[in-house]
């Protein structure tokens, strides 16, 4: 939980069998910090066995899906410290969820946000959606399987262009290239 003791990820299970999981850190453009990752993993594990739920929508709201990892958490950490944070528990919770997961993307889906969207079964992007793997601009390569999922989604040439240039891909282009 954050310092205000409010959830940074909310869950609503609607009567129609749809669960809506919303990331709510607008002050940080929904950046993935440890609290967000933990709460997402908890919700996805619970939803996996919830018989009321037939499908899950994952969103960041109307302004921004997820603008990437919260780099403030990584600023002074060594590579081994980052590795030892075991962030894979989030990706496993989503990958192992047997329910269809729809990413409802508005605004930025960058870095970890792009990877989060690609972990979902379907991406529905609003006109404002922008996808990208800008880690290269920080001297990093995308983690959490981002490059592998990107290659499977759009092919090697497009994936290399996105990952090696850090370019942003608007929603219409993302649709055209198979993202």
pTM of the predicted model over 0.85: yes
d(CA 78, CA 80) in angstroms, rounded, equals 5
Straight-line distance from the first to the last Cα atom of the chain, in angstroms, rounded to the nearest whole number: 32
pLDDT tens, position by position, 116-175: 999 999 999 999 999 999 988 877 777 767 788 899 999 999 999 999 999 999 999 999
CA distance 65 to 18: 19
Per DSSP, helices labelled H in the chain are 34-48, 79-83, 88-95, 112-119, 146-154, 156-165, 171-176
Assigned token pair, 100: 């269809």
Average pLDDT, the chain: 89
Residues identified as active-site: 69, 112, 115, 135
174 or 88, which is more confident?
174
- SS3 at position 44: helix
CATH architecture of 9-132: Alpha-Beta Complex (3.90)
pLDDT for the residue numbered 2: 43
Q: Where are the domains of the chain?
A: 9-132
Beta pairing partners, 146: none
Continuous segment of H or E residues that includes residue 76: none
What local confidence, expressed as pLDDT, does residue 161 receive? 95
């Amino acid at each position: 939980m954050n310092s205000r003791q409010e959830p940074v990820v909310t869950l609503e299970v609607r009567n129609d069998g749809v669960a809506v999981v919303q990331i709510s850190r607008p002050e940080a453009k929904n950046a993935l910090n440890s609290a967000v990752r933990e709460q997402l993993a908890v919700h996805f594990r619970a939803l996996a066995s919830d018989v009321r739920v037939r499908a899950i929508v994952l969103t960041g709201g109307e302004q921004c899906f997820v603008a990437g990892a919260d780099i403030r958490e990584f600023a002074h950490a060594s590579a081994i410290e980052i590795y030892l944070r075991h962030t894979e528990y989030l990706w496993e919770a989503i990958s192992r969820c047997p329910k269809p997961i729809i990413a409802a993307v508005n605004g930025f889906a960058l870095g970890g946000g792009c990877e989060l969207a690609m972990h979902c079964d379907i991406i529905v992007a609003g006109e404002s959606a922008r996808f990208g793997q800008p880690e290269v601009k920080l001297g990093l390569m995308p983690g959490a399987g981002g490059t592998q999922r990107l290659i499977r989604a759009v092919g090697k040439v497009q994936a290399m262009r996105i990952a090696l240039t850090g370019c942003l891909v608007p929603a219409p282009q993302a649709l055209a290239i198979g993202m």
